[in-house]
Amino acid sequence: MQFSSYSYLLFLAAAVLLFWALPVRMRRVYVLVASLLFYASWGVSLVVLPIVISTVTYGCARWMLQRPERKRAGLVAGIGFVLAVLVYFKYRVFLLSGLANLFGWSGSAIGGPLAVVLPLGISFYTFEAVSYLLDVRQGRVKEVKYVDLLLFVLFWPHLMAGPIVRVRELVPQLGFQKVFAGPMLTAGVNRIALGLVQKNVFANSLGGWVEDGFVPRLARANSTIDVWALAVAFGLQIYFDFAAYSNIAIGSAHLIGVTLPENFNYPYWAGNPSEFWARWHMTLSRWVRDYLFFPVNAKYSGRKGVLYLSLVLIMSAVGLWHGAGWGFVIWGAMHGVYLAVFRAYQSWRGLDVPGAKSGWAAGLVVRAITLVGVVAAWVPFRAASLEQTAVLLKTMFAGMDFRISYSVNFYLVTALLTLYCVAEPWLIRGLEGIEGRAKGSAAWGWGVDLVLRPVLWSLAVVLFLAFDDQDTIFIYFQF
């Protein structure tokens, strides 16, 4: 059941109704069963792996709490197991192919069937398990409960593609003690409606063109404008696609009184690379920051060269986490280089960093520079090969062909959605302003609840229905 499918929306409606009808003491088990049912809807056998990972994580975590002197061993064993599972399912082919290329082995020498089914969401729930173990190690988790851990990993709104939550954020909410209130419904439906439009109308409308434009065999035929438009279009597609998923996840959780952390904060408005990562896939960024970068930073705080190198290596690993391919690694490495250069600039100038708070003109310039870097980095992320990446990046930065090759509608839709991205903060703030005013005035309140909101929701529903012919999976489901 994709979040943007009718089956999911029916499942959600039924799950939410039943949730609020049940007594509080039964809700934990109910949500766990609903989560397993949701995941099993893709294939019943899929549920085995997250349960095994959760069980091993539970065992290691208990051991770490019971034997504090062996915490490190428990941590290494737990993380080692989880990462081994991840590597087996996600990186086996990549690693073995790399070794085969390096040593000139034939395909048969690799042995075994290479095409292992990649379990959905494995990158996300393994990260959750790792963060649970790290929190136990660092003393943030004092007590380990099996059902809590299962719910933490399997909770259906965030199971497949995040947001990547922290133990302290989710576990205290898993008592499901809240009493149903109208604003939960409003907040949930608001987010779900926005997500459905972002996915079906915005992301999917660009998807077809992006797919056509990134065909490797046509890479050399694209003009400079074509490649820039394609890279921007993909940047918009992946943003709307992932923001849609996150909005529906957050909205679904709202409907049963659970608050999940935000994942996006207008990322293309970022004024520097550091700010971009504070706005893009925010829950992954803070995971990487807290569990990877801060420990490295603490260890090598006096050695700038090592820190810059660690930034590039860590971001390359983040790229690899997205997918088993060199294109993802290059995407991560490019962002690592951007971050390292930015840190070096900060260190050199010792000034306030250029960013969103800079003056109007300076802000525009730094945003434009950041955007160019971010858009260029989408090319290796989306391209099918390193050769295609090289051709497209060369065309972008060294090409002088300014003709357009595709339907004018492609460029127009890309421009329109770019404009939407520019205006998005004001649009959302405007709507929030109206809602705020509605709280203080009965007339405004009625107007918002009985006119404005129904109009927006009904438009969202109709557009979702009208554009549901593209049965396209969420991009981040593949990671």
Partner 1 sequence: MRREFATLGICAVFAAVILHGHVFGAVAKVLTTVFGGGDEAAALKLYAQDRRTQEVSNGADPLPSLQDVVVHWASEKAERRLVVMGNSQTYAVILAPGERDPGVPVQTYVDLVGSRIGTAGKANVYRLSAPNLSYAEALWYVTYLSLVAPVKPTDLVLQLNYESFRKSGIRDGMLGLLRDPAFARAAAETARSATPFGAAFEQAIKRYRELEGKSGPTGDAKASAPAGFGEIAEVAIRKKMDAVGIGTEKHTAKAEFLNVLYLLRVHVLRITPTTPRPLAGAAYEGSVSALDEVATRCRAAGITVRLFLAPQNPGARMWRTEADRDRYRGAAQSLSSKFGLRLVDLENKVPAEQWGVWIDGPDPIHFGLKGHETMAAAMLSSGLF
Mask: binding to partner 1, 73-102, rule CB under 8 A, as x and -?
Answer: ------------------------------
352 in contact with partner 1 (CB under 8 A): no
- Give the shortest CB-443-to-partner 1 separation in angstroms: 14
- Give the shortest CB-458-to-partner 1 separation in angstroms: 3
The active-site residue, picked from 158, 281, 322, 335, is 322
Backbone angles phi, psi at 125, to 5 degrees: -75, -25
For tokens 């109007």, what's the residue?
A: 360
Kindly state the tokens that stand for 193. Answer: 């409606």
Distance CA 148, CA 278 (A): 29
DSSP 292: I
Using CB under 8 A, pick the residue from 117, 361, 400, 442 that binds partner 1: 117
Are 55 and 72 in contact, with CB atoms under 8 Å apart? no
Using CB under 8 A, pick the residue from 222, 252, 285, 414 that binds partner 1: 222
What is the DSSP annotation of 60-98? HHHHHHH-GGGHHHHHHHHHHHHHHHHIIIIIHHHHHHH
Taking CB under 8 A as the binding criterion, the range among 58-66, 239-247, 357-365, 466-474 that sits at the site for partner 1 is 466-474
Kindly state the tokens that stand for 265. Answer: 């904060």
403 in contact with partner 1 (CB under 8 A): yes
Distance CA 89, CA 121 (A): 11
17 in contact with partner 1 (CB under 8 A): no
Taking CB under 8 A as the binding criterion, the range among 14-22, 103-111, 243-251, 454-462 that sits at the site for partner 1 is 454-462
Using CB under 8 A, pick the residue from 25, 69, 298, 471 that binds partner 1: 471
180 in contact with partner 1 (CB under 8 A): yes
Nearer to partner 1, 76 or 450 (CB): 450
Using CB under 8 A, pick the residue from 105, 264, 300, 457 that binds partner 1: 457
210 in contact with partner 1 (CB under 8 A): no
Using CB under 8 A, pick the residue from 128, 135, 148, 226 that binds partner 1: 226
Instruction: Give the Cβ contact number of residue 346 at 10 Å.
Output: 15
Are 255 and 15 in contact, with CB atoms under 8 Å apart? no
Distance CA 34, CA 25 (A): 15
Nearer to partner 1, 167 or 238 (CB): 238
Nearer to partner 1, 6 or 294 (CB): 6
439 in contact with partner 1 (CB under 8 A): no
Nearer to partner 1, 441 or 478 (CB): 478
404 in contact with partner 1 (CB under 8 A): yes
Could you tell me which of 437, 372, 379 has the C-alpha nearest to residue 219? 379
Taking CB under 8 A as the binding criterion, the range among 57-65, 222-230, 275-283, 365-373 that sits at the site for partner 1 is 222-230
Look at the chain and count its residues.
479
Instruction: Give the Cβ contact number of residue 22 at 10 Å.
Output: 14
44 in contact with partner 1 (CB under 8 A): yes
Kindly state the tokens that stand for 323. Answer: 């997918």
Using CB under 8 A, pick the residue from 115, 351, 361, 398 that binds partner 1: 115
Distance CA 230, CA 389 (A): 13
Are 34 and 15 in contact, with CB atoms under 8 Å apart? yes
Kindly state the tokens that stand for 153. Answer: 């990993």
55 in contact with partner 1 (CB under 8 A): no
Q: Is residue 197 classed as helix, strand or coil in its secondary structure?
A: helix
Nearer to partner 1, 42 or 105 (CB): 42
Q: Catalytic site residue 158?
A: no
Helix, strand, coil: what percent of the chain each, to 5?
Answer: 80, 0, 20
* 218 contact partners, CB below 8 Å, separation of at least 6: none
Residues marked active site are found at: 322
Q: Interface residues with partner 1 (CB under 8 A)? A: 1, 5-8, 10, 40-44, 46, 115-118, 120, 180-183, 185-186, 189, 208, 211-213, 215-218, 221-223, 226, 401, 403-409, 412, 449-450, 453-455, 457-459, 461-463, 465-473, 477-478
